[in-house]
Amino acid sequence: MKLLIPVKISLKNLLASKLRSFLTILGIIIGVAAVIIIFAAGQSAQTLIIDKIQGTGSNIIAVLPGKSEEDGPPAAAFGIETKTLTYKDLEALRDPKQLPQIESGAGFTSGTLTVTYKDIEEAATVQGVTKSYLDVEDTEMARGRFFTKAEEKGLDKICVLGHKIAKDLFGVRDPLQQEIKLKNQKFRVIGILKEKSSGGFGAGGQDETVYLPLKTSQKLVFNIDYLNAIRLKVKNVELLDRAEKNVEEILRIRHDIDDPEEDDFSVRDLASAVDLIRKVTDVIRYFLLAVGSISLLVGGVGIMNIMLISVNQRIREIGLRKAVGARNKDVATQFLIESAAISVAGGLIGILIGILVSFAVYLIANLLGYAWPFIISPLSILVAVLVALMVGVIFGMFPAKKAADISPMEALRYE
So where are the chain's domains? 4-52+276-413, 83-263
pLDDT of residue 201: 36
pLDDT of residue 272: 66
pLDDT of residue 35: 80
Q: Which residues are within 8 A (CB) of 399 and not within 5 positions of it... i.e. 6 or more apart? A: 304, 307, 308, 310, 311, 335, 339
Number of other residues whose CB lies within 10 A of the CB of residue 173: 11
Total-model pTM: 0.59
Helix (H, G, I), strand (E, B) or coil at 144: strand
pLDDT of residue 202: 37
pLDDT of residue 203: 38
Whether 176 contacts 143, CB under 8 Å: yes
pLDDT of residue 148: 94
CA distances for 51 relative to 71, 118, 197, 198, 201, angstroms: 20, 37, 12, 10, 11
Helix (H, G, I), strand (E, B) or coil at 372: coil
Binned average pLDDT, 10 residues per bin, the chain of 415 residues: 58 65 76 83 77 66 79 55 86 91 92 92 94 90 94 94 94 93 94 73 70 95 93 85 90 90 84 70 75 72 71 64 67 74 82 90 83 80 78 72 64 53
pLDDT of residue 141: 94
pLDDT of residue 71: 55
